[in-house]
Structure 1
């Protein structure tokens, strides 16, 4: 289980809260069986929906403050959605999913994205 901590703060409470919630949703995958379950489906759906909401929030800040790196950042969001949807389509079609692999991908991507791309806008936006 990986927890959000202050080293991941971008200084915008709304975005930090969304990051905390994303870690919480991702961590709920830990320990689930790879076999189909209603719980897995609920978590997967919630995670995809919440990621989209979060990306929209960040992108609203990009446009409000005319963030110069917005296009590259949005491409990262798009690449994440594409990869996550591939994993979850596999779950829907085959009704199984490699939970440890998906969990590792999600944690690694989110942590690296925050520490790399999101930290670039730290201090540039206000709520």
Structure 2
């Protein structure tokens, strides 16, 4: 596995559902990266990997926002905005891929792994601390 996509235990938030989904997101990003770089991996497999990752990102964001809503987290609005921005950025990579740029799949996996690590450190951990303090 490429180290860029290795799960770092330092990213644990202490919220098991969130951490489990984060680990899965990194694994899906790794799968997409590996497949996009493998010349033996056909276009349908890369497409399936892109769909799998983008669908799970959407599912994760919805689950995370629901958790925040249930807890009446005051930072939900800005957090949701960051999720929406990532979704828009992700769709730009997906569009590039479907316009014939196979390299966009590798770039998408790198972008998501980097973005997620920063988002977890800054935003998700802030929510986890707030939740524990309640």
TM over 0.5: yes
Matched residue count: 126
- Give CA-to-partner distance per residue, 1:20-50, whole Å, 9 cap, x none: 0000000012232488611110010011110
Asked if residue 39 in structure 1 is aligned to residue 45 in structure 2, the reply is yes
Among 106, 110, 133, the alignment partner of 1:104 is 110
**Any gaps of 5 or more consecutive residues in structure 1?**
none
- Bigger relative contact order (CA 8 A; separation at least 6): 1
Instruction: Tell me which residue corresponds to 2:127.
Output: 121
Deviation by residue 1:77-102 (Cα, 9 ceiling, x = unmatched): 00000000110011112253334432
Contact 2:14–2:128 (8 Å) recurs in 1: yes
Aligned to 1:19: 22
Tell me how far apart the structure 2 counterparts of residues 42 and 99 of structure 1 sit (CA, whole Å): 11
Q: Which runs of 4+ in 1 moved over 4 A?
A: none
Equivalent residue, structure 2, for 1:60: 66
CA RMSD of aligned residues (A): 1.9
TM-score (norm 1): 0.89
Determine which structure has the larger helix proportion and give its number. 2
The TM-score normalised by the length of structure 2 is 0.84
